[in-house]
Structure 1
């Protein structure tokens, strides 16, 4: 963890703060005057120091060789996002105003209450970590790989846009790699030297999103104890990536349109316009034209964002890229885990390529992590693949016929629990049913076995497609997920956490799915010990 830098000519103050922060497991580094601090920062900037950069700077206001306010200005020139807390025994209005005008995180009068001082430093650490996440541009992001013609079109578009800072709208399904495209656009652009700041507008509550985007002034609302820079200011001179822009609240769309139109915005509670020198890249998995027609998205904002549109293909549209991506992710996973990379047999690769990947590239990456941990041998075979892949029947040569026997061993049913210490996925007898409703319902006692449940699913899909029904994928997926979640909850007596664990998904995921599917179920976790 980065240290807290303390600068004060009074050794007793340094000692007290060092001991208090040590009890909080916060490392410190102390200085006696501003000159030492500036020399240390200069060495960090030149790369000649082996010391870590500061997380927070706590400085006295009056010291030999310079004041804390002068140090504050110089530090912000060298480390713009570093929170600085100014301490002083001379508590007067001018000092307080000057400290905040020059960008101090907080003003701490002496003598101070030590627990409150430590609490303040903790808040400054949180702000520093937030800045680090926002401004840090990873040195080595995941590569964009693809030989398919659709991906080559994306690569060509990135190349053509490399000399431009025009606004770009990236469309594509969830997990298809939209943020990777945004990072590539930033990396190969005139603003590559600036920060890349990403924000998922769907993941932040509506009441907080405005402050996250535009920042707020001290006292703008309850709890706003300091001025806070928003993502637009953090991305100054670089790129702001607005993910899932289709979910942005309607009233905030108006504010975003204003920024894109004239390049100015106001912090929450502020009265002075702030100029934004930022390139905006937006992304969505939704049909924005349909959102505009439905009145959920501003048409003028849509046209502002839709200057250049890049469509990222789903992984199922480029199956020829699956082998290359699989080997890449297996290598990447092995590096992360510190193990020898596993190899994958051609038959297993072929089976993977037949999978539809509803979660796209992200799902393939997760599968490769799973294989690195769970596959028992160094060479991954078909039976080592995860259940969701094996659940898709392998086609027979020359093509699969309705009711034909599958070429590979049948996978376990969807509700079969896999022992946590199992090295290989067990092979069970197939669940048989004659209709999809029966497949997605508990097996009736005494029912005569007929086709496999996969064949019943295929027949049901064929029926729906033959009638011209739209959104067949969503229809069948909702029914399958509903039945799977209800079955898991029944097996765990309504305990969502246990059901999520046995299904191999997160607690938040099962809760979100229950809400999306409108399932009327009780959560008995609160009643369990």
Structure 2
């Protein structure tokens, strides 16, 4: 077995990985920059490489591409603290074995490294699924933003599926970003130079859907003064995104099914059979299975569209992303209006994080734009939020914190690094914890930190398992911890 090479400019990350690999008996070598790795590759080869993306002296993506070009059999695991879609897609399209985000569960990372080592040893080949033809660029726009585990799964899926031609069904509530995912799948695929055509069936009258989809010949009906190419024809060679496909009339569903199967169709009023080569991506807010059960949607069409399904999480399922999303949208609105970006008071951010946002990310974006336009001050305070924004039921503690906030304790959000922005609020449970801790300290109790930490973790995990009805994987995702972590904690804390 050859060594695992660790590439990261952060000494603490290298130290943690080194100690963990040593415990497992896995040999290793550490590097602080990609250049040293490339120099040593001329003399010896590692079993696996695990590399950071952003380093002062080089890019992990560039290193990945060089390795896959010269040594395609070496598995490369990419890790990053800057989790975005561009990084994930670039990693997978560059041929990465896996993509992980910091902070990570060390147990899960060691298990991943072990799997990569075993596959490398047994096969001595890891087939690259994606051509290394994409370089991460800070100038490229980020379609989706998020550090929540559920969003990282979406980023990974886009990276894996972009080069596929399989039909994909994207589900999720309104405003979660279904169109953005569809565009990302197209832009990162081999059809990116061909058209991307979006057709929202919910916005078109039923009488016009057929003409818009299939086109028509001149004179086909009263207002058909000229020939018109439909969406299918316009998307030839590229991608057709059928938004809200659940609104497609039943009488047209058979025609769509035939088109997906063989690519053949006729314009309205036309005799000539036409053929197009299109990748289909569909989305739906409606429950298509329920529509199938009620006879409103063809089952065979559903199965044709549902080859691969991606479910986008609602914003309430990824509230840890609200701070970075808010900052991003405030910056974006400022650029559009050519003004200086606003900053959020931490209490204002707390309120936004507690709000009920049925419109999801789109609604949060609209809120940020409205605040940029309407608030004259540079810092957005809780009093600046219009009354209709307070769509949540505040606890007594949150009301008190708004009433008695000390302006001297306010720290502008813009002054806090994006990766560590967290809502800060004073709440009753924190006050209770302080009271208990004070009594234990005054009584000279021993092991106070671990005792309270265990009680906190146990209460948190028990509550998550109660909400998810015992489903550990879902509980771990909601808590933002690894699957191995929750399994270990359940055993350590004797959670039934």
TM-score (norm 2): 0.52
Aligned to 1:46: none
Distance in 2, Cα, partners of 1:192 & 1:236: 12
Aligned to 2:334: 334
Residue deviations 1:434-473, cap 9 Å, x none? xxxxxxxxxxxxxxxxxxxxxxxxxxxxxxxxxxxxxxxx
- Counterpart contact for 1:319–1:353, Cα < 8 Å: yes
Higher RCO structure, 1 or 2 (CA under 8 Å, sep 6+): 2
- Deviation at residue 227 of structure 1 after TM alignment: 0.9
Distance 1:143 1:277, change over 3 A: same
Structure with more helix by fraction:
2
Aligned to 1:392: 392
Where structure 1 has 5 or more consecutive residues not aligned to the other structure, the ranges are 1-138, 410-529
Distance in 1, Cα, partners of 2:201 & 2:348: 38
- Counterpart contact for 1:393–1:406, Cα < 8 Å: no
Aligned to 1:11: none
- Deviation at residue 374 of structure 1 after TM alignment: 1.1
Residue deviations 1:259-287, cap 9 Å, x none? 01111111111111111111110001011
Distance in 2, Cα, partners of 1:391 & 1:169: 32
Distance 1:290 1:361, change over 3 A: same
Classify the secondary structure of the residue corresponding to 1:202: helix
Aligned to 2:255: 255
Distance in 1, Cα, partners of 2:385 & 2:140: 29
2:207 is equivalent to residue 203 of structure 1: no
- Counterpart contact for 1:214–1:267, Cα < 8 Å: yes
Distance in 2, Cα, partners of 1:228 & 1:279: 21
- Deviation at residue 408 of structure 1 after TM alignment: 3.8
Aligned to 1:175: 175
Distance 1:389 1:396, change over 3 A: same
Classify the secondary structure of the residue corresponding to 2:203: coil
- Counterpart contact for 1:351–1:382, Cα < 8 Å: yes
Classify the secondary structure of the residue corresponding to 2:216: coil
2:374 is equivalent to residue 374 of structure 1: yes
Aligned to 1:322: 322
- Counterpart contact for 2:200–2:242, Cα < 8 Å: yes
> How well do the aligned residues superpose, as a CA RMSD in angstroms?
1.7
Aligned to 2:229: 229
- Counterpart contact for 1:165–1:191, Cα < 8 Å: no
- Counterpart contact for 1:367–1:386, Cα < 8 Å: no
Aligned to 2:456: none
- Deviation at residue 387 of structure 1 after TM alignment: 2.1
- Counterpart contact for 1:165–1:190, Cα < 8 Å: no
Residue deviations 1:152-194, cap 9 Å, x none? 1111110110221111000000111100000001011111111
Distance in 2, Cα, partners of 1:250 & 1:208: 14
- Deviation at residue 143 of structure 1 after TM alignment: 2.6
- Counterpart contact for 1:148–1:321, Cα < 8 Å: yes
- Counterpart contact for 1:394–1:407, Cα < 8 Å: no
* Residue pairs, 1:422-441, within 5 angstroms: none
Distance in 2, Cα, partners of 1:257 & 1:141: 34
Distance in 2, Cα, partners of 1:142 & 1:245: 26
- Deviation at residue 376 of structure 1 after TM alignment: 2.4
Classify the secondary structure of the residue corresponding to 2:261: helix
Distance in 2, Cα, partners of 1:314 & 1:252: 31
Distance 1:226 1:141, change over 3 A: farther
- Counterpart contact for 2:355–2:391, Cα < 8 Å: no
TM-score (norm 1): 0.49
Aligned to 2:363: 363
Distance in 2, Cα, partners of 1:225 & 1:385: 52
- Counterpart contact for 2:214–2:233, Cα < 8 Å: yes
Classify the secondary structure of the residue corresponding to 1:246: helix
* Residue pairs, 1:444-483, within 5 angstroms: none
- Counterpart contact for 1:253–1:298, Cα < 8 Å: yes
